[in-house]
Copies of this chain bind each other. A is one copy, B any other.
Protein backbone atom coordinates (compact mmCIF):
# COMPACT_ATOMS: atom_id res chain seq x y z
CA UNK A 1 0.00 0.00 0.00
CA UNK A 2 2.77 2.40 0.91
CA UNK A 3 4.50 4.52 -1.67
CA UNK A 4 7.97 3.09 -1.28
CA UNK A 5 9.59 6.50 -1.42
CA UNK A 6 7.67 8.25 1.32
CA UNK A 7 7.61 6.72 4.81
CA UNK A 8 4.60 6.85 7.09
CA UNK A 9 6.38 9.09 9.54
CA UNK A 10 8.84 11.61 8.19
CA UNK A 11 11.19 12.32 11.08
CA UNK A 12 13.66 15.11 10.57
CA UNK A 13 16.98 15.14 12.39
CA UNK A 14 17.60 17.11 15.54
CA UNK A 15 19.78 19.42 13.46
CA UNK A 16 16.71 20.18 11.33
CA UNK A 17 14.94 21.93 14.21
CA UNK A 18 14.68 25.50 12.95
CA UNK A 19 17.29 27.96 14.21
CA UNK A 20 14.85 30.83 13.85
CA UNK A 21 11.11 31.40 13.89
CA UNK A 22 9.50 32.98 10.88
CA UNK A 23 7.53 36.22 11.25
CA UNK A 24 5.00 36.32 8.43
CA UNK A 25 4.28 40.00 9.12
CA UNK A 26 7.58 40.89 7.45
CA UNK A 27 6.10 39.63 4.18
CA UNK A 28 2.50 40.76 4.50
CA UNK A 29 1.28 43.25 1.92
CA UNK A 30 -1.05 44.93 4.38
CA UNK A 31 -0.41 44.97 8.11
CA UNK A 32 -3.30 44.50 10.48
CA UNK A 33 -4.53 47.76 11.96
CA UNK A 34 -2.61 48.73 15.08
CA UNK A 35 -3.56 47.51 18.52
CA UNK A 36 -5.24 50.34 20.43
CA UNK A 37 -4.83 51.35 24.04
CA UNK A 38 -8.25 50.83 25.70
CA UNK A 39 -8.08 54.18 27.48
CA UNK A 40 -6.68 56.52 24.84
CA UNK A 41 -7.76 54.57 21.75
CA UNK A 42 -4.31 55.41 20.36
CA UNK A 43 -1.99 52.76 18.89
CA UNK A 44 -0.11 51.08 21.71
CA UNK A 45 3.58 51.74 22.19
CA UNK A 46 5.94 49.33 23.94
CA UNK A 47 5.61 51.11 27.27
CA UNK A 48 1.87 50.49 27.24
CA UNK A 49 2.39 46.75 26.98
CA UNK A 50 5.35 46.23 29.33
CA UNK A 51 3.23 46.07 32.50
CA UNK A 52 1.38 43.17 30.90
CA UNK A 53 3.94 41.25 28.81
CA UNK A 54 7.66 40.49 29.15
CA UNK A 55 9.82 43.05 27.38
CA UNK A 56 11.09 40.70 24.68
CA UNK A 57 7.58 39.53 23.93
CA UNK A 58 6.41 43.11 23.60
CA UNK A 59 9.11 43.60 20.98
CA UNK A 60 8.00 40.49 19.12
CA UNK A 61 4.37 41.52 19.35
CA UNK A 62 5.03 44.79 17.59
CA UNK A 63 7.62 43.52 15.12
CA UNK A 64 6.54 43.73 11.49
CA UNK A 65 10.06 44.05 10.10
CA UNK A 66 12.21 41.10 11.11
CA UNK A 67 11.50 38.10 8.94
CA UNK A 68 13.40 35.66 11.16
CA UNK A 69 13.77 35.72 14.92
CA UNK A 70 16.48 33.54 16.40
CA UNK A 71 15.28 30.80 18.72
CA UNK A 72 17.25 31.09 21.99
CA UNK A 73 19.48 28.08 22.67
CA UNK A 74 17.72 27.07 25.93
CA UNK A 75 14.44 26.96 24.01
CA UNK A 76 16.05 24.91 21.25
CA UNK A 77 17.39 22.53 23.89
CA UNK A 78 13.90 22.04 25.24
CA UNK A 79 12.54 21.61 21.70
CA UNK A 80 14.98 18.73 21.26
CA UNK A 81 12.99 16.71 23.78
CA UNK A 82 9.96 16.52 21.53
CA UNK A 83 10.91 18.07 18.22
CA UNK A 84 11.18 17.70 15.29
CA UNK A 85 7.59 16.50 15.53
CA UNK A 86 6.67 13.90 12.92
CA UNK A 87 5.00 14.67 9.63
CA UNK A 88 2.83 11.67 8.87
CA UNK A 89 1.66 10.43 5.50
CA UNK A 90 -1.88 9.24 6.21
CA UNK A 91 -1.70 6.18 3.99
CA UNK A 92 -4.33 4.36 6.02
CA UNK A 93 -6.78 7.24 5.84
CA UNK A 94 -6.20 7.58 2.10
CA UNK A 95 -6.97 3.88 1.72
CA UNK A 96 -10.07 4.12 3.91
CA UNK A 97 -11.39 7.01 1.79
CA UNK A 98 -10.23 5.42 -1.46
CA UNK A 99 -9.01 8.82 -2.57
CA UNK A 100 -6.30 9.76 -5.06
CA UNK A 101 -5.38 12.63 -2.73
CA UNK A 102 -2.16 12.48 -0.76
CA UNK A 103 -2.85 13.39 2.84
CA UNK A 104 -0.19 14.56 5.28
CA UNK A 105 -0.56 15.68 8.83
CA UNK A 106 1.86 17.37 11.15
CA UNK A 107 1.41 15.71 14.53
CA UNK A 108 1.98 18.04 17.46
CA UNK A 109 0.23 15.97 20.14
CA UNK A 110 3.11 13.66 20.98
CA UNK A 111 4.56 15.69 23.83
CA UNK A 112 3.29 15.40 27.40
CA UNK A 113 1.32 18.66 27.22
CA UNK A 114 -0.56 16.92 24.41
CA UNK A 115 -0.58 19.78 21.91
CA UNK A 116 1.33 22.33 19.88
CA UNK A 117 0.95 24.89 22.66
CA UNK A 118 4.28 23.86 24.18
CA UNK A 119 6.09 25.50 21.24
CA UNK A 120 5.11 28.93 22.49
CA UNK A 121 4.84 28.32 26.23
CA UNK A 122 8.49 27.31 26.50
CA UNK A 123 9.52 30.45 24.64
CA UNK A 124 7.35 32.71 26.77
CA UNK A 125 8.52 31.09 30.01
CA UNK A 126 12.12 31.48 28.87
CA UNK A 127 11.76 35.21 28.26
CA UNK A 128 9.98 35.65 31.59
CA UNK A 129 12.79 33.85 33.37
CA UNK A 130 15.44 35.86 31.52
CA UNK A 131 13.75 39.05 32.65
CA UNK A 132 14.02 37.89 36.26
CA UNK A 133 10.28 37.56 36.84
CA UNK A 134 8.81 35.45 39.63
CA UNK A 135 5.94 34.04 37.67
CA UNK A 136 3.28 34.34 35.03
CA UNK A 137 -0.50 34.23 34.86
CA UNK A 138 -2.63 32.92 32.06
CA UNK A 139 -5.99 31.53 31.08
CA UNK A 140 -6.74 28.16 29.57
CA UNK A 141 -9.79 26.84 27.78
CA UNK A 142 -9.52 23.16 26.97
CA UNK A 143 -6.48 23.01 29.19
CA UNK A 144 -3.92 22.52 26.47
CA UNK A 145 -2.31 25.90 26.92
CA UNK A 146 -2.37 25.72 30.71
CA UNK A 147 -0.71 22.31 30.64
CA UNK A 148 1.92 23.49 28.21
CA UNK A 149 2.65 26.57 30.29
CA UNK A 150 2.82 24.52 33.50
CA UNK A 151 5.42 22.26 31.94
CA UNK A 152 7.43 25.21 30.70
CA UNK A 153 7.29 27.00 34.06
CA UNK A 154 8.16 23.78 35.91
CA UNK A 155 11.18 23.43 33.68
CA UNK A 156 12.44 26.98 34.20
CA UNK A 157 11.37 27.24 37.84
CA UNK A 158 8.72 29.95 37.45
CA UNK A 159 5.48 30.24 39.38
CA UNK A 160 2.45 29.60 37.18
CA UNK A 161 -1.12 30.73 37.88
CA UNK A 162 -3.77 29.44 35.54
CA UNK A 163 -7.35 30.66 35.19
CA UNK A 164 -9.24 27.78 33.63
CA UNK A 165 -12.60 28.26 31.91
CA UNK A 166 -15.10 26.84 34.39
CA UNK A 167 -16.82 24.42 32.04
CA UNK A 168 -13.47 22.95 31.05
CA UNK A 169 -12.31 22.70 34.65
CA UNK A 170 -15.46 20.71 35.40
CA UNK A 171 -15.23 18.51 32.33
CA UNK A 172 -11.52 17.88 32.68
CA UNK A 173 -10.39 17.38 36.29
CA UNK A 174 -7.32 15.51 35.07
CA UNK A 175 -6.10 18.50 33.12
CA UNK A 176 -5.98 20.30 36.43
CA UNK A 177 -4.10 17.38 37.91
CA UNK A 178 -1.40 17.53 35.24
CA UNK A 179 -0.95 21.25 35.73
CA UNK A 180 -0.67 20.78 39.48
CA UNK A 181 1.79 17.95 38.99
CA UNK A 182 3.97 20.48 37.18
CA UNK A 183 3.53 22.88 40.09
CA UNK A 184 0.90 25.28 38.73
CA UNK A 185 -2.03 26.79 40.64
CA UNK A 186 -5.35 26.36 38.85
CA UNK A 187 -8.44 28.50 39.48
CA UNK A 188 -11.81 27.96 37.79
CA UNK A 189 -12.91 31.12 35.95
CA UNK A 190 -14.85 33.27 36.57
CA UNK A 191 -13.65 33.28 40.15
CA UNK A 192 -13.92 35.55 43.14
CA UNK A 193 -10.13 36.05 43.19
CA UNK A 194 -10.30 39.08 40.87
CA UNK A 195 -12.48 42.15 40.64
CA UNK A 196 -13.49 41.39 37.09
CA UNK A 197 -14.32 37.79 38.02
CA UNK A 198 -16.57 39.00 40.85
CA UNK A 199 -18.28 41.43 38.50
CA UNK A 200 -18.92 38.80 35.84
CA UNK A 201 -20.24 36.37 38.46
CA UNK A 202 -22.58 38.94 39.92
CA UNK A 203 -24.00 39.75 36.49
CA UNK A 204 -24.19 36.15 35.31
CA UNK A 205 -23.92 33.73 38.24
CA UNK A 206 -24.59 30.65 36.08
CA UNK A 207 -21.98 31.37 33.42
CA UNK A 208 -19.81 28.44 32.39
CA UNK A 209 -17.05 30.89 31.61
CA UNK A 210 -15.21 31.67 28.41
CA UNK A 211 -11.69 32.31 27.28
CA UNK A 212 -12.42 36.00 27.05
CA UNK A 213 -13.49 36.08 30.67
CA UNK A 214 -10.52 34.02 31.89
CA UNK A 215 -8.18 36.36 30.02
CA UNK A 216 -9.62 39.32 31.95
CA UNK A 217 -8.93 37.62 35.24
CA UNK A 218 -5.41 36.53 34.29
CA UNK A 219 -4.47 40.01 33.09
CA UNK A 220 -5.80 41.58 36.27
CA UNK A 221 -3.89 39.07 38.38
CA UNK A 222 -0.66 39.77 36.49
CA UNK A 223 -0.74 43.55 36.57
CA UNK A 224 -1.71 43.60 40.25
CA UNK A 225 1.08 41.23 41.39
CA UNK A 226 4.72 42.32 41.72
CA UNK A 227 7.11 40.33 39.50
CA UNK A 228 4.39 38.77 37.35
CA UNK A 229 3.42 39.13 33.73
CA UNK A 230 0.58 37.77 31.67
CA UNK A 231 1.13 35.22 28.90
CA UNK A 232 -1.31 34.04 26.25
CA UNK A 233 -1.36 30.91 24.14
CA UNK A 234 -3.02 32.17 20.99
CA UNK A 235 -4.31 35.22 19.10
CA UNK A 236 -1.14 37.30 19.62
CA UNK A 237 1.46 37.92 16.94
CA UNK A 238 4.21 36.61 19.22
CA UNK A 239 2.43 33.27 19.51
CA UNK A 240 2.15 32.93 15.74
CA UNK A 241 5.87 33.65 15.50
CA UNK A 242 6.69 30.80 17.92
CA UNK A 243 4.24 28.43 16.30
CA UNK A 244 5.90 28.95 12.93
CA UNK A 245 8.20 26.13 14.02
CA UNK A 246 5.33 23.79 13.10
CA UNK A 247 5.09 25.03 9.55
CA UNK A 248 8.83 25.31 9.05
CA UNK A 249 9.32 21.69 10.05
CA UNK A 250 6.36 20.54 7.97
CA UNK A 251 7.72 22.33 4.93
CA UNK A 252 11.23 20.92 5.42
CA UNK A 253 9.86 17.40 5.85
CA UNK A 254 7.76 17.65 2.69
CA UNK A 255 10.63 19.14 0.71
CA UNK A 256 12.75 16.16 1.69
CA UNK A 257 10.43 14.11 -0.52
CA UNK A 258 9.75 16.67 -3.22
CA UNK A 259 6.25 17.34 -1.91
CA UNK A 260 4.41 20.64 -1.55
CA UNK A 261 0.83 21.08 -0.35
CA UNK A 262 -1.98 22.12 -2.67
CA UNK A 263 -4.22 22.62 0.35
CA UNK A 264 -3.23 23.60 3.91
CA UNK A 265 -5.87 23.03 6.58
CA UNK A 266 -5.90 24.01 10.22
CA UNK A 267 -8.44 24.31 12.96
CA UNK A 268 -8.77 27.89 14.14
CA UNK A 269 -9.84 29.16 17.53
CA UNK A 270 -7.53 32.04 18.27
CA UNK A 271 -5.28 31.13 15.36
CA UNK A 272 -2.14 29.72 17.00
CA UNK A 273 -2.21 26.43 15.17
CA UNK A 274 -3.23 27.54 11.70
CA UNK A 275 -1.07 30.62 11.92
CA UNK A 276 1.96 28.51 12.74
CA UNK A 277 1.33 25.70 10.31
CA UNK A 278 0.66 27.90 7.33
CA UNK A 279 3.29 30.58 8.03
CA UNK A 280 6.07 29.52 5.65
CA UNK A 281 3.60 28.43 2.98
CA UNK A 282 1.86 31.80 3.28
CA UNK A 283 5.30 33.35 2.97
CA UNK A 284 5.71 31.53 -0.34
CA UNK A 285 2.32 32.73 -1.46
CA UNK A 286 2.99 36.33 -0.49
CA UNK A 287 6.30 36.14 -2.37
CA UNK A 288 4.55 34.71 -5.42
CA UNK A 289 6.51 31.45 -5.21
CA UNK A 290 3.55 29.12 -4.73
CA UNK A 291 -0.19 29.28 -4.31
CA UNK A 292 -1.47 26.73 -1.85
CA UNK A 293 -5.14 26.98 -0.87
CA UNK A 294 -5.60 27.75 2.84
CA UNK A 295 -8.61 26.63 4.85
CA UNK A 296 -9.41 27.67 8.42
CA UNK A 297 -11.85 25.33 10.16
CA UNK A 298 -13.86 26.61 13.07
CA UNK A 299 -16.73 25.21 15.15
CA UNK A 300 -20.23 26.11 13.98
CA UNK A 301 -20.91 27.02 17.60
CA UNK A 302 -18.28 29.76 17.62
CA UNK A 303 -17.96 31.00 14.03
CA UNK A 304 -15.80 34.11 14.28
CA UNK A 305 -14.45 34.02 10.71
CA UNK A 306 -17.54 32.73 8.94
CA UNK A 307 -20.17 34.79 10.74
CA UNK A 308 -18.23 37.40 12.72
CA UNK A 309 -17.54 41.07 11.98
CA UNK A 310 -14.17 42.48 10.98
CA UNK A 311 -13.98 45.18 13.62
CA UNK A 312 -12.02 46.56 16.52
CA UNK A 313 -12.85 44.68 19.68
CA UNK A 314 -11.51 43.87 23.09
CA UNK A 315 -9.58 40.61 23.45
CA UNK A 316 -11.39 39.78 26.68
CA UNK A 317 -14.87 39.79 28.14
CA UNK A 318 -14.00 42.21 30.89
CA UNK A 319 -12.81 44.82 28.39
CA UNK A 320 -9.52 45.48 30.15
CA UNK A 321 -7.20 44.51 27.29
CA UNK A 322 -6.15 46.60 24.31
CA UNK A 323 -8.39 46.53 21.25
CA UNK A 324 -7.52 44.60 18.12
CA UNK A 325 -8.96 44.78 14.62
CA UNK A 326 -10.06 41.23 13.97
CA UNK A 327 -12.92 38.97 13.03
CA UNK A 328 -14.99 38.82 16.17
CA UNK A 329 -18.32 37.72 17.53
CA UNK A 330 -18.08 40.44 20.14
CA UNK A 331 -16.18 40.09 23.41
CA UNK A 332 -19.45 39.63 25.29
CA UNK A 333 -20.41 36.61 23.14
CA UNK A 334 -20.24 33.51 25.30
CA UNK A 335 -20.33 30.43 23.09
CA UNK A 336 -22.31 27.33 23.98
CA UNK A 337 -20.26 24.77 25.85
CA UNK A 338 -19.09 22.44 23.15
CA UNK A 339 -16.27 19.93 23.28
CA UNK A 340 -13.61 21.87 21.48
CA UNK A 341 -12.82 24.20 24.33
CA UNK A 342 -9.69 25.41 22.59
CA UNK A 343 -11.80 26.88 19.80
CA UNK A 344 -14.29 28.73 21.99
CA UNK A 345 -12.94 32.24 21.56
CA UNK A 346 -14.88 35.22 20.32
CA UNK A 347 -12.11 36.67 18.16
CA UNK A 348 -9.39 35.62 15.78
CA UNK A 349 -5.69 36.44 15.47
CA UNK A 350 -5.30 39.89 13.87
CA UNK A 351 -2.76 38.42 11.43
CA UNK A 352 -5.13 35.67 10.30
CA UNK A 353 -8.02 38.13 10.24
CA UNK A 354 -6.09 40.46 7.95
CA UNK A 355 -4.98 37.62 5.68
CA UNK A 356 -8.56 36.39 5.48
CA UNK A 357 -9.86 39.88 4.81
CA UNK A 358 -7.28 40.30 2.03
CA UNK A 359 -8.05 36.93 0.45
CA UNK A 360 -4.75 35.20 1.21
CA UNK A 361 -6.37 32.90 3.72
CA UNK A 362 -8.72 31.54 1.10
CA UNK A 363 -11.53 29.96 3.02
CA UNK A 364 -13.06 29.69 6.44
CA UNK A 365 -15.36 26.78 7.07
CA UNK A 366 -17.61 26.14 10.07
CA UNK A 367 -18.34 22.51 10.98
CA UNK A 368 -20.70 20.91 13.48
CA UNK A 369 -19.33 18.84 16.30
CA UNK A 370 -21.20 15.65 15.41
CA UNK A 371 -19.52 15.58 12.00
CA UNK A 372 -16.24 16.43 13.70
CA UNK A 373 -16.46 13.46 16.08
CA UNK A 374 -17.48 11.21 13.22
CA UNK A 375 -14.26 12.19 11.46
CA UNK A 376 -12.31 11.79 14.70
CA UNK A 377 -13.50 8.21 15.20
CA UNK A 378 -12.71 7.21 11.66
CA UNK A 379 -9.28 8.73 11.97
CA UNK A 380 -8.63 7.08 15.34
CA UNK A 381 -9.56 3.68 13.99
CA UNK A 382 -7.52 3.75 10.79
CA UNK A 383 -4.60 6.01 11.72
CA UNK A 384 -4.16 4.79 15.27
CA UNK A 385 -4.26 8.24 16.84
CA UNK A 386 -7.07 9.56 19.02
CA UNK A 387 -7.32 13.24 18.12
CA UNK A 388 -8.30 16.18 20.27
CA UNK A 389 -11.72 17.56 19.28
CA UNK A 390 -10.04 20.79 18.16
CA UNK A 391 -7.74 18.89 15.81
CA UNK A 392 -10.64 16.83 14.54
CA UNK A 393 -12.07 19.98 12.95
CA UNK A 394 -9.10 19.91 10.59
CA UNK A 395 -9.53 16.18 10.05
CA UNK A 396 -13.16 16.77 9.05
CA UNK A 397 -12.12 19.29 6.41
CA UNK A 398 -9.21 17.15 5.21
CA UNK A 399 -11.52 14.17 4.74
CA UNK A 400 -14.02 16.32 2.89
CA UNK A 401 -11.32 17.68 0.58
CA UNK A 402 -10.00 14.18 -0.03
CA UNK A 403 -13.50 13.00 -0.89
CA UNK A 404 -13.82 15.86 -3.36
CA UNK A 405 -10.61 14.59 -4.96
CA UNK A 406 -12.20 11.17 -5.20
CA UNK A 407 -15.11 12.73 -7.11
CA UNK A 408 -12.90 14.77 -9.40
CA UNK A 409 -10.09 12.26 -9.71
CA UNK A 410 -7.54 14.88 -8.69
CA UNK A 411 -4.48 13.73 -6.74
CA UNK A 412 -4.13 16.85 -4.63
CA UNK A 413 -1.63 17.04 -1.80
CA UNK A 414 -3.36 17.94 1.44
CA UNK A 415 -1.56 19.03 4.60
CA UNK A 416 -3.36 19.48 7.87
CA UNK A 417 -2.34 20.14 11.43
CA UNK A 418 -3.07 17.45 14.02
CA UNK A 419 -2.58 19.71 16.97
CA UNK A 420 -3.30 17.49 19.91
CA UNK A 421 -4.23 14.23 21.53
CA UNK A 422 -7.77 13.36 22.61
CA UNK A 423 -6.67 11.73 25.87
CA UNK A 424 -8.14 14.56 27.90
CA UNK A 425 -11.40 14.72 25.98
CA UNK A 426 -12.74 11.30 26.72
CA UNK A 427 -15.87 12.61 28.38
CA UNK A 428 -16.68 14.13 24.99
CA UNK A 429 -16.02 10.84 23.23
CA UNK A 430 -18.24 9.14 25.82
CA UNK A 431 -21.06 11.53 24.93
CA UNK A 432 -20.54 10.90 21.25
CA UNK A 433 -20.39 7.14 21.79
CA UNK A 434 -23.64 7.05 23.78
CA UNK A 435 -25.49 9.39 21.42
CA UNK A 436 -26.06 12.25 23.84
CA UNK A 437 -23.87 14.76 22.00
CA UNK A 438 -25.68 17.54 20.18
CA UNK A 439 -24.83 20.10 17.54
CA UNK A 440 -25.27 23.71 18.42
CA UNK A 441 -25.41 26.61 16.00
CA UNK A 442 -26.06 30.12 17.31
CA UNK A 443 -29.02 31.94 15.80
CA UNK A 444 -28.63 35.31 14.11
CA UNK A 445 -30.20 36.77 17.23
CA UNK A 446 -27.56 35.13 19.41
CA UNK A 447 -24.87 36.67 17.25
CA UNK A 448 -26.57 40.05 17.21
CA UNK A 449 -26.38 40.19 20.99
CA UNK A 450 -22.60 39.75 20.70
CA UNK A 451 -22.33 42.39 18.00
CA UNK A 452 -24.38 44.78 20.11
CA UNK A 453 -21.56 44.63 22.63
CA UNK A 454 -18.89 45.75 20.17
CA UNK A 455 -17.26 48.98 21.26
CA UNK A 456 -18.50 52.16 19.68
CA UNK A 457 -15.38 53.87 18.34
CA UNK A 458 -16.17 57.02 16.42
CA UNK A 459 -13.43 57.94 13.94
CA UNK A 460 -11.65 54.57 14.23
CA UNK A 461 -11.65 52.35 11.15
User: What residues of chain A have their CB less than 8 Å away from a CB belonging to chain B?
Assistant: 1-2, 7-9, 11, 13-14, 77-78, 80-82, 88, 92, 110-112, 114, 151, 154-155, 173-174, 177-178, 180-183, 377, 380-386, 421, 423-424, 426-427, 429-430, 433
Indicate whether A386 sits within 8 Å of B181 (C-beta atoms), given known contacts A155-B381, A381-B154: yes
Given the interface pairs A423-B424, A433-B177, the reply to whether A9 lies near B80 with Cβ below 8 Å is yes
B384 touches A81 (CB 8 A): yes
| Nearest Cβ on chain B to A132's Cβ, whole angstroms | 21
Q: Which residues of B contact A174 (CB under 8 A)?
A: 174, 423, 426-427
Question: Quick one: given A2-B80, A381-B182, are A421 and B177 in contact (CB under 8 Å)?
Answer: no
Contacts of A80 in B (CB 8 A): 2, 7-9
Q: A15 to chain B: closest CB distance in Å?
A: 8
Oligomer copy total: 2
Residues of B within 8 A of A9 (CB): 14, 80-81
B77 touches A2 (CB 8 A): yes
Complex contact A177–B381 (CB within 8 A): no
Interface contact B111-A384, CB-CB below 8 Å: yes
- A183: B residues at CB distance < 8 A: 381
Query: Which residues in B have their C-beta under 8 angstroms from that of A110?
Result: 110
Enumerate chain B residues within 8 angstroms of A111, measured Cβ to Cβ.
384-385
Instruction: Tell me the interface secondary structure of chain A in the complex.
Output: helix
A216 to chain B, nearest CB (A): 28
Contact A178–B426 (Cβ < 8 Å): yes
Inter-subunit contact B181/A429 (CB<8 Å): yes
Contacts A9-B14, A174-B427, A178-B423 known; list 16 others, CB within 8 Å. A2-B77, A7-B13, A7-B80, A11-B11, A78-B384, A111-B385, A112-B384, A151-B384, A154-B381, A177-B427, A177-B429, A177-B433, A180-B433, A181-B386, A182-B381, A183-B381
What are 8 A-B residue pairs whose CB atoms fall within 8 Å in the complex? Answer: A7-B80, A9-B80, A177-B429, A177-B433, A178-B429, A180-B430, A181-B377, A182-B380
B2 engages A386 (CB within 8 Å) = no
State the CA gap A155–B379 with chains docked (Å): 11
**Smallest beta-carbon distance A161→chain B, Å:** 16
Closest B-chain residue to A180, C-beta based? B433
Residue of B nearest to A424 (CB): B423
Complex: A182 Cα to B78 Cα, angstroms: 34
Q: Which residues of B lie under 8 Å from residue A430 when comparing CB positions? A: 177, 180
List B contacts of A182 (CB < 8 A): 380-381
